[in-house]
Amino acid sequence: MTTQHTPEPWGYDNQYSAGGIFKEHKSGRRYAVAAALGHVMPDGMQEANARRIVACVNACADVPTDLLETLDSQSAQSWIFDDIGQRKYAELEQQRDELQAKCDRLQFSLDKEIARIQAMWLDIKNLQNRCDELFVERAALQRICAARAECLEAVGLHADCTVQEAIAKAQGVQS
């Protein structure tokens, strides 16, 4: 069995004492993955090399090392970008599906609220119609009361008299 490389993702930090390339453990502790061995390089080259190594390793995550060793530069780029594109496409599809599900839930909630508001509006319209009917009935009762008062006054009764008083007065008038 071949020894496996350190799992991705790798990181780079020029403040890290072991050459900058590390793997961060779940605990937050960093472990050196590769170290620069005191070679004299122009300023910034060691950092640039380390950053490139980390970028390449992370970009090739899930790509078997044996396959990488067989690919020329052009084939590797094509294969990696196709793979990255497929992963990105799958990620975007998942985001789309999640957003569609959220939109569907929001639409359902909105439809429920619209139905509730429409029911309240119908209740308000029904109450308004009932109020209109009561105003008509009130006006009719006011006319009846006014006519009653005129009739009572015509026979010499006051408007506050009871029905029995009105009957007694009417019977007295007839006799």
What is the DSSP code (8-state) at residue 28?
S
Tens digit of each residue's pLDDT (9 = 90 or more) over 37-84: 656 666 677 777 778 888 888 887 777 777 777 777 667 667 667 766
Q: How does pLDDT run across 10-47, given as a tens digit for each residue?
A: 777 766 555 577 777 788 887 777 766 656 666 677 77
Cα 27 off chain centre by = 33
User: What per-residue confidence (pLDDT) applies to 98?
Assistant: 96
Residue 157: its pLDDT value, please?
A: 78
% of the chain with per-residue pLDDT over 90:
30
Closest among 165, 137, 140 to 152, alpha carbons compared: 165
Res 112: pLDDT:
97
Contact 60, 68 (CB under 8 A): yes
Instruction: From 133, 9, 21, 102, select the one nearest 125 (Cα to Cα).
Output: 133
Mean pLDDT computed over 94-114? 96
Which residues are CB-contacts of 76 (< 8 A; sequence separation ≥ 6)? Answer: 68
User: Which residue shows structure tokens 């992370």?
Assistant: 58
Instruction: Say which residue, 16 or 116, is predicted with more confidence.
Output: 116
- Name the burial class of residue 114, with classes exposed (0-12), middle (13-18) and buried (19+) by CB atoms within 10 angstroms of its CB: exposed
Distance CA 100, CA 158 (A): 77
Other C-beta atoms closer than 10 Å to the C-beta of 20 total 23
Q: What is the pLDDT of residue 174?
A: 54
Judged against a pLDDT cut of 80, whether residue 138 lies above it is answered with yes
- The mean-pLDDT minimum among 79-93, 105-119, 133-147 falls in 79-93
What is the per-residue pLDDT for 125?
A: 96
The predicted structure's pLDDT at residue 59: 80
pLDDT mean over 143-153: 85
Of residues 103 and 58, more confidently modeled: 103
